[in-house]
């Protein structure tokens, strides 16, 4: 059995550090986001291929939207989904959620296809 490199122990040490300190709702939310992002990167490394960037981006956007809406419903004092206050707020959400995040996911997927594993 080969020993685990020290660099791979750092995330476990970081989680242990969070567990030792005071854990509040914000800390748990950040820890959950970090775990979801790590799972996202591992899955992206496994499934990203040069010819499937846009399909993979649609899946990433749909998953991100589902998680974001779920968090909004759960963290809004259990009041359920509240629509944006104005049309400009809705336009901003659509732009940031669709265009900016979609562009970032395309760039991330493209870069992942270029890396050696």
Write down the residue that tokens 């992942």 correspond to.
112
Determine phi and psi for 88, rounding to 5 degrees. -70, -35
The CA distance from 59 to 48, in Å, is: 12
Q: What is the pTM (predicted TM-score) of this model?
A: 0.63
pLDDT tens profile 33-56: 888 888 888 888 888 777 778 888
pLDDT tens profile 13-40: 777 776 677 677 777 778 888 888 888 8
């Amino acid at each position: 059995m080969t020993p685990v490199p020290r660099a791979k122990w750092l995330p476990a040490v970081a989680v242990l550090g969070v567990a030792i300190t005071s854990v509040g709702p914000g800390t748990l939310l950040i820890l959950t986001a970090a775990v979801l992002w790590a799972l996202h990167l591992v899955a992206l490394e496994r499934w990203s291929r040069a010819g499937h960037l846009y399909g993979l981006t649609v899946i990433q956007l749909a998953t991100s939207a589902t998680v974001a809406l779920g968090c909004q419903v759960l963290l809004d004092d259990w009041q359920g989904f509240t629509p944006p206050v104005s049309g400009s707020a809705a336009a901003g959400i659509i732009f940031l959620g669709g265009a900016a995040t979609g562009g970032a996911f395309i760039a991330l997927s493209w870069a992942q296809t270029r890396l050696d594993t």
